[in-house]
Structure 1
Amino acid sequence: MGRELTESLLGERDRSRGELLPLWSALGFEEPQRAEDLILAIGEDPFDRGPLMQFLPHLFLAAAAFGAPDRLVGNFSRFVNAHGSPRYVISILMTSEPVRDLSFRLWSHSDALSDVLVRNPEYLEWLLTDAALDITRSRREFDAEFFSAWETGGADDVRALEAIRRTHRRELLRIGVRDLLDLAPLREILHEISWLAETVVERVLRVHTRAMLREFGVPRAEDEPDGPQVGFCVMGMGKLGGEELNYSSDIDLMFVYAREGWVWREDAGRSVRGITNHEFFTRLGKRLVQSLTEWGREGFLYRVDLRLRPEGDTGPLVRSLESYENYYASHGETWERMALIKMRPIAGDRSVGRALIEAVQPFVFPRHLGADVLEEIAAIKGRIEREVVRRGPLQSNLKLGPGGIRDIEFIAQSFQILQAGQHPRLQRRGTIEVLREMGSMGVLQEGEVRDLIEGYAFLRRLEHRIQMDHQLQTHVLPSDAKTRHRIAKSLGMEDAPRLMVEVSDRMRRNRALYESSLVQERVVGSRARTERERNVQYLIDRLNAGDEPGVVGCLHTLGWPDHGGRSEGLIPHLR
């Protein structure tokens, strides 16, 4: 059928468009006139027509196989026009079947990745000749590549940022193609997307740190010009912190600096005190966010969400280590515990980030919890689901709907909140790793762990396909049959109905396991509640007896951090 259509379009057989319509329809085209015009435009030059006639049967075969014929022809046409030489493009595509398969899948299943190739046609040969698709890049390899891009900008910050954006876009293309071609397991894809974001944040931070030091001087820990320099760290939260980022995710960040103090600079041979450390790092954080989110010639890098920081949008953009410690000790809530589980340092002075993790550890993973923590976790989930219902159909939301990605994450996180204080092996950031630990501890049965991990992997891959389709920040399964069919094909499924059966079955099983896990955890929670009630009664008895060491010991049992002995002298304040 493809050969017959090719002969009719470019050969000597003269057939009307009406006569060709059944051939187009049989291949799945919905806009045959547009497809015909695009193909004839490519073969307008007689020197291009022969290679095009050899190539078109392969394209038509892929059009039927991948379920997106109009998109395939449209993106092929855009790529040829961007390159400028149909003969050369076709010669590359005809070199081998893997080359054609890569190109056809990309043009069929992702306008976003196709856009990258259209803007940079040379990337196709880079993908094929530099073994770019063969291995998973390590953090060190990402850093080396972006260091090279950063160096091309020299001292020019604008050029350096554009080079970073250009390298970022090329790396997203490479990762996306590996994903589409199933060349790497989900875990590796998630790691690469996360490490890419981590490296980008590091390099952009270095650009602005360099500029800020030139402009304002050096932040010091003491009120002395020769005091130690104060470190600043960017903390990755949420999916970035857990190394589970997807293609269109916001990146959740928090900023921390080591100590309060002043910025000192040299002026005419003498040291001059300038702005405070807090103001310096606030400006640095703002510049970092602006460069990550603003559009340049090479597009933008990431949307940034800072709402997980203490007090959300109303709180200060940056805080010192001491400020974070004081906030969580006195004001931290259950949802903040859940947010901090995945926190990790991703850029800047990582020793400051590690110190923050250590400081908040007693809050995130307390050895003993209040009676209402599990109820609070369930209430948080309930509020999320009610909000999703307000926005649209719940069942089609792969992330927040019943049995969706968030259900599986809640199983892991709620158990971590309840048990990780007493079982450090649960203090992990990755959802899959925590589920496996729950299985090894006997909390989940082997089959339940397998179902949850397979369900999580399926929904995350489906989420990726939806996001790659148009590079949209969405977790909602498209409602139109055409898009569903295209996505089903990208996952190797027969059609949209088969996809919907699989989605429904996976989410139904996930939800059942989520609800049964909450029941089990309520039993654990009730035991913790009984133990806590006994400890509270003991605390009251020690208070009445004036036993300060007993009071302090009981406070520590209840989860009150020691803070270097600062718990002493509390009895007068507790009575």
Structure 2
Amino acid sequence: MSGKRLREAIERSAAPAGVAVAVDRLAERDPNLVDRLEGDAALRSALVAVVAASRSLAELCVADAAAVEILADLGRRPSLAGAATVDGLARWKRLELLRVAARDLVGIDDLPVVGAGLARLADQVLESACARLDEGPEASGLAVIAMGKLGGAELNYASDIDLMFVAVDPVAGEKAARAVLEVARTCFRVDVDLRPEGRDGTLVRTLASYEAYWDRWARTWEFQALLKARPVTGDSALGAAFAASAAERLWTRSFTSDDLREVRTMKARAEDHLARKGLTEREVKRGRGGIRDIEFAVQLLQLVHGRHDPALRSPTTLDALAELGRAGYVGHGDARALNHAYRLLRAVEHRLQLVHEQQVHVLPDDAESLCRLARVMGYRDGAEGTAGELFVRYLRRQQASVRSIHEHLFFQPLLDALLAIPTDTDPGRNGESGSEMLSADAVETRLAAFGFTDAARTRQALAELTRGLTRSSRLMQQLLPLLLSWLSDSPDPDAGLLGLRLLASGEHRAGELAAAFRESPEGARRLCVLVGTSRHLTRTLEHHPDLITSLGGPEGPGSRSGPELA
């Protein structure tokens, strides 16, 4: 081997010995390659990065001359023209995966782009499989629905692809679905167990059959899975109808305290299973502070709040997390921390899977493999430790942060409080509060039961407090029964409600008040009692709204000095 630039690139790589061997093997097939690598910085960077990170892709580069040409121009996708046969499609998939991986490893694309690129690759395999049906995809009467990470366009390098099938005619649809699966499985592992009744259920159902199942039998986790349902190919009208029907049921059903308990139980069961295998500390997916901690927290908040806030319904984790942060359902600092940690954890997962293109989520338990992973992640030996030690140290800090935020979000008392609200107080479809949907007599009866005496004035205050379609007004609509109950514990519920209306006047103030309620239900309860006790203190809070957050502290109002509240 010759060439100073190439030698230096190999020495700087994550696996110098392995890269040198791979380059020697490539040079045996193409004697001009070394000179080409010496003169082409982009090709040199891509090839060295790929063969350092992935033994399986290194073998692809040696076995298929087209692989080197892919690395020479990472902006050009391999043509599907040569994929007329099933073997040709499988070869195209490997070459496109190589291109996506190279762009990832040299830093051209970030995590969301990589995940979307891998999902698009899978979509095209499925489209090609449907195109081989005798009737063609549109006339087949079969729609292919992506679920899981494929549905969310955030696929891994070695992910299974989760699919469901809906058909006009289930008999003909099953034949078509099996033909699609036969082709798709030459390129991917395919999981169809998310369908109703899992492995015991039929592979293909009509839309009416899905709807009947959702309406009568579906469990909470099955609705959670529908967060990521996305039509991919086949009969587009049928796929769109499936997506619309699934969304309607997902976002109009009541998410109850039983549902919350089921989601938490399912998460705990997965953690217990991992602990019994002794992998809690090494699993980056399901371990403490891992990928699932972020995904479950995001999905739980989507299920609770997405019914009233359409902006939260993205199937993609990072997009949904960003919206949760913008809306204040997750604190801005926590949202940034989770975004950073999710990108890190998924990058680690990607690097683990690239080695042999296998579905791996566990950190290596030997120092050599761990050091190689750390070097692929960009770490190098330093004064404070080896690359592996520095990597693990940083990873553990991120996992601890994720776990802390996860536990705060996943077990926050407001979720339990919100889901304890009776369903007949749910907001109406037009943003009307539960009180506005009741008759005047019914409203007065309820208010009287809570201790309110001035019905007309109280109804007006309720309408002003909950009016509108903003996030803060929707949260007030959801919290209304709790607020009324808390106000009823005060000496003067009527004055308390008027005080809340005063503190929430203006969208900015309403948003801050809603955020304070969301952060601390106990602070909200204390505030309701306080504003129903003292008009003087209510006016003080009006002029010093920052004091409201102090009510949620462990000491309550007494955590501030008397003069501050006086």
Q: Give the alignment of 1:462-541 within 5 angstroms.
A: 462-494=348-380, 495-520=387-412, 522-532=413-423
Relative to the length of structure 2, the TM-score reads: 0.71
Residue 428, structure 1, aligned to residue 329, structure 2: no
How has the CA–CA distance of structure 1 residues 339 and 518 changed in structure 2, closer, same or farther, with 3 Å as cutoff?
same
Residue 316 of structure 1, CA deviation? 0.1
Matches within 5 A, 1:334-353: 334-353=220-239
Counterpart residue identity of residue 162, structure 1: D
Residue 57 of structure 2 is aligned to residue 124 of structure 1: no
Give the drift of 1:59.
5.1
**Aligned with 2:154 (options 230, 241, 244):** 244
1:533 is displaced (CA, Å) by 7.6
Deviation at 1:439, TM superposition (A): 1.1
Residue 262 of structure 2 corresponds to residue 390 of structure 1: no
Offset, 1:323: 0.3
Deviation at 1:61, TM superposition (A): 3.5
- CA drift of 1:496 comes to 0.6
Aligned 8 A contact 2:43 2:71 in 1: no
One-letter code aligned to 1:133: L
The 2-side partners of 1:182 and 1:63 are apart by: 18
Residue by residue over 1:138-171, the C-alpha shift from the partner in whole angstroms, topping out at 9 and shown as x without a partner, is xxxx8xx43x334xx3xxxxxx222211211111
Gaps of 5+ in 1: 1-51, 154-159, 220-228, 260-276, 294-299, 543-557, 559-575
Question: 1:236-385 residue pairs with structure 2 within 5 A?
Answer: 236-257=146-167, 259=168, 277-293=169-185, 300-366=186-252, 368-385=254-271
Q: 1:365 aligns to what SS in structure 2? A: helix
Structure 1 equivalent of residue 515 of structure 2: none
Residue in 2 aligned with 1:181? 106
d(CA) in 1 for partners of 2:174, 2:14: 50
User: Aligned-pair distance for 1:186?
Assistant: 1.3
For residues 297-354 of structure 1, give each alpha carbon's deviation from its aligned partner in whole angstroms, at most 9, with x where no partner exists: xxx3000001100000000000000000000000011010111100000111122111
Equivalent positions of 1:441-452 (< 5 A) are 441-452=327-338
Displacement after TM superposition at 1:75 (Å): 1.6
Distance 1:112 1:509 in 2: 34
- The alpha-carbon distance between structure 1 residues 188 and 67, as it changes in their structure 2 partners (threshold 3 A), is closer
Find the counterpart in structure 1 of residue 486 from structure 2: none
The match for 2:90 is 165
Is the aligned partner of 1:149 residue 2:82? yes
Structure 1 residue 184 displacement after superposition: 1.1
Quote the Cα distance in structure 1 between the aligned partners of 2:201 and 2:303.
Answer: 25
Q: Which of 291, 307, 315 is 1:405 aligned to?
A: 291
**1:402 aligns to what SS in structure 2?**
coil
Deviates more, 1:162-171 or 1:525-534: 525-534
1:115 maps to: 59
Q: Distance in 1 between matches of 2:399 and 2:201?
A: 37
Q: Which one-letter code corresponds to 2:48 in the other structure? A: F
Q: Which consecutive residues of structure 2, in runs of 5 or more, have no partner in the other structure?
A: 381-386, 427-433, 439-477, 479-566
Question: After alignment, is 313-322 or 230-239 more displaced?
Answer: 230-239
CA RMSD of aligned residues (A): 2.5
Q: How does 1:28-67 map to 2 (within 5 A)?
A: 52=1, 54-55=2-3, 58=5, 60-67=7-14
Larger displacement relative to structure 2 (345-354 or 119-128): 119-128
Structure 1 letter corresponding to 2:82: A
Identity %: 31
Instruction: Give me the whole-angstrom Cα distance separating, in 2, the residues matched to 1:286 and 1:149.
Output: 24
SS of equivalent residue, structure 1 residue 470 = coil
Alpha-carbon spacing, 1:99–1:371, altered in 2? closer, same or farther (3 Å): closer
* Structure-1 separation of matches of 2:284 and 2:361: 5
Residue 397 to residue 324, structure 1, CA distance change in 2 (3 Å): same
**d(CA) in 1 for partners of 2:262, 2:337:** 26
Instruction: Figure out how many residues of one structure are paired with residues of the other and give that number.
Output: 424
Residues 141 and 173 in structure 2, CA contact (< 8 A), matched pair in contact too: no
Q: How far apart are residue 369 of structure 1 and its match? A: 2.5
Which stretches of structure 1, 4 residues or more, deviate above 4 A after TM superposition? 57-60
Structure with larger RCO (C-alpha < 8 A, sep 6+): 1
AA at the equivalent of 1:239: K
- State the TM-score, normalized to the length of structure 1: 0.70
